Amino acid sequence: MRNEMMYRPVVKPELVAFLRNEQKQLSGELGQIEKEANENEVPIIPHETVVFMQFLLGQIKPKQVLEIGTALGFSSSLMAQYVGEDGHVTTIDRFDVMIRKAKKTYKRLGLEDRVTLLEGQAADILPELTGPYDFIFMDSAKSKYIEFLPECLRLLKKGGVLMVDDIFQGGTILDPIEEIPRNRRTIHRKLKRFLDVINSHPDLTTSLVPLGDGIALITKEADEVIIEPAE
Ligand SMILES: C[S@@+](CC[C@H](N)C(=O)[O-])C[C@H]1O[C@@H](n2cnc3c(N)ncnc32)[C@H](O)[C@@H]1O
């Protein structure tokens, strides 16, 4: 018999509001920074993703963390709370306005020793890093996810977790390409290819989570993971 629950949208707007407003809020300065970013519409992870990340990092207890996409330094500051005295967060951003804001954030939170901000294009910086990282958070230009994936997997330790934000394109990722506006087709195709790869690769275990605009959690099951170029 058909299970009707399978055919209903899982995340109703009122449920999103519940996840966002009723789960534990951040206290202190970091909570203030989250509030200010949301008021000023700076794109930071939504609160349901904050809570999820706190839970996840509390379990994983990573020491070395890498982030692609710093913005004003909110999620990197959150992650810095989970790496301990001997851990470190490295984060990458290319946008000078955000870089200035992120530096202020780290100063405000006293995190200057625990976070390193690398300034420039991730495509240039990633090949220079050696890792390994226990946890990588990719939250940058969506069209680049497929291009950055091999570098992220090279830098991730075996058993480590790669978390990727905003993978559903506001839910349009399942729409046929003809229904996607022409100027969004490249990003649509590249994101679809990214999802195909992470969902089918034999050396990756992936779980897609419908929080925010969708999160992918990817674990690396082999020392070396090769991603074949698209035909
Ligand atoms: C969504 S925001 C990051 C939000 C942040 N992770 C948070 O939740 O606090 C994306 C950031 O990625 C940066 N970015 C996008 N593509 C990039 C690239 N190719 N190289 C470096 N930075 C990039 C943008 O400048 C922007 O500040």
C-alpha dihedral (44, 45, 46, 48), degrees to nearest 10: -160
Burial class (CB in 10 A: 0-12, 13-18, 19+), 132: middle
53 near 83, Cβ under 8 Å? no
44 CA distance to ligand 1 middle (Å): 9
d(CA 125, CA 68) in angstroms, rounded, equals 10
Residue 230 lies inside a defined structural domain of this protein: no
Domain membership of residue 103 (yes or no) is yes
Q: Which atom of ligand 1 is closest in space to residue 93's alpha carbon?
A: 22
Rounded distance between C-alpha atoms, residue 225 and residue 158, angstroms: 10
Domain span holding position 24: 12-220
Domains contained in the chain, number:
1
174 in a structural domain: yes
Q: Is residue 100 part of a domain?
A: yes
pLDDT at 172: 87
**Torsion angles phi and psi, residue 215, rounded to 5:** -125, 140
**Does residue 47 have its Cβ closer than 6 Å to ligand 1?**
no
Give residue 188's pLDDT.
Answer: 93
Output 202-210 pairs: Cβ under 8 A, ≥24 positions apart.
204/153, 208/167, 209/52, 210/10, 210/11, 210/168
Here the CATH number for the domain that contains residue 37 is: 3.40.50.150
Mutate-to-test residue for ligand 1 from 94, 101, 215, highest number of ligand atoms within 8 A of CB: 94
In a domain, 5, yes or no: no
pLDDT of residue 127: 97
pLDDT tens over the chain, length 231 residues: 666 666 666 688 899 999 999 999 999 999 999 999 999 999 999 999 999 999 999 999 999 999 999 999 999 999 999 999 999 999 999 999 999 999 999 999 999 999 999 999 999 999 999 999 999 999 999 999 999 999 999 999 999 999 999 999 888 888 899 999 999 999 999 999 999 999 999 999 999 999 999 999 999 999 999 998 776
pLDDT of 11 = 82
CA of 98 to the centre of ligand 1 (A): 9
pLDDT, position 2:
64
